[in-house]
A and B are shown apart, each in its own frame.
Chain A
Amino acid sequence: QVQLVGSGGGLVKPGGSLRLSCAASGFTFSDYYMSWIRQAPGKGLEWVSHISSSGSTIYYADSVKGRFTISRDNAKNSLYLQMNSLRAEDTAVYYCASRNRTGTPYNYWGQGTLVTVSS
């Protein structure tokens, strides 16, 4: 049974940092491209970042470039998102999601972890 379990969310002050994790099981994690996608309150889904199966190719949305860092540890079947210089507009539920490769839809999603940036 495929599972993506996100963790690490919470309340953080503006300018602070947080590290999200996503633990994968039930599939060969190292074969899949992974992304972080977020949904702010009352807004639609927004793609945040992408990492290839090997970790060699990484992309970021302009809104988080220079502040967020995506990484993965295939030995631990885990995906990470290091979020620095957090802003109120980063408040959202963050989902991890998998896809076979670029140009394919997301076949599995995690349940989401809530990040709240507020003083």
Chain B
Amino acid sequence: EIVLTQSPGTLSLSPGERATLSCRASQRVSSSYLAWYQRKPGQAPRLLIYGASSRATGVPDRFSGSGSGTDFTLTISSLEPEDVAMYYCQQFDTSPQTFGQGTKVEIK
């Protein structure tokens, strides 16, 4: 199965700073089948990015996704306090679908 490794494990930044989250796959993943999710404390996960770079409905444009092959990135251009959450990448290119371990984003 494809292993997704997310880094860093925890990201602690000040409001307004840029957050860069990495997702590295153990094998090539088609960009069409790479997604990012956000899970805020006490809430259900929410789809943020699909197709590696397309924002889901209602997602603020400070969130962007990029990458291809084995390296993918989620960027929050200017961190807001409400962005405190866990972020997970997912591949559903190769069965079984797999998720990364997650990156925790904190406000410094």
A109 at the B interface (CB under 8 A): yes
Q: How many residues of B contact A (CB 8 A)?
A: 21
B26 at the A interface (CB under 8 A): no
Q: In the bound complex, do residue A47 and residue B46 qualify as a contact, i.e. CB atoms below 8 Å apart?
A: no
Count A/B pairs, Cβ under 8 Å: 50
In the complex, what's the smallest C-beta–C-beta distance from A71 to chain B, in angstroms? 20
Q: In the bound complex, do residue B45 and residue A95 qualify as a contact, i.e. CB atoms below 8 Å apart?
A: yes
> In whole angstroms, what is the CA distance A46 to B47 when docked?
16
B96 at the A interface (CB under 8 A): yes
Q: In the bound complex, do residue A44 and residue B88 qualify as a contact, i.e. CB atoms below 8 Å apart?
A: yes
* B45-88 to A contact mask, C-beta < 8 Å, 1/0: 11100100000100000000000000000000000000000001
Which residues of the other chain, A, contact B43 by a CB distance below 8 angstroms?
111
- Give the B-binding residues of A (Cβ under 8 A): 4, 37, 43-47, 59, 61-62, 95, 97, 102-112
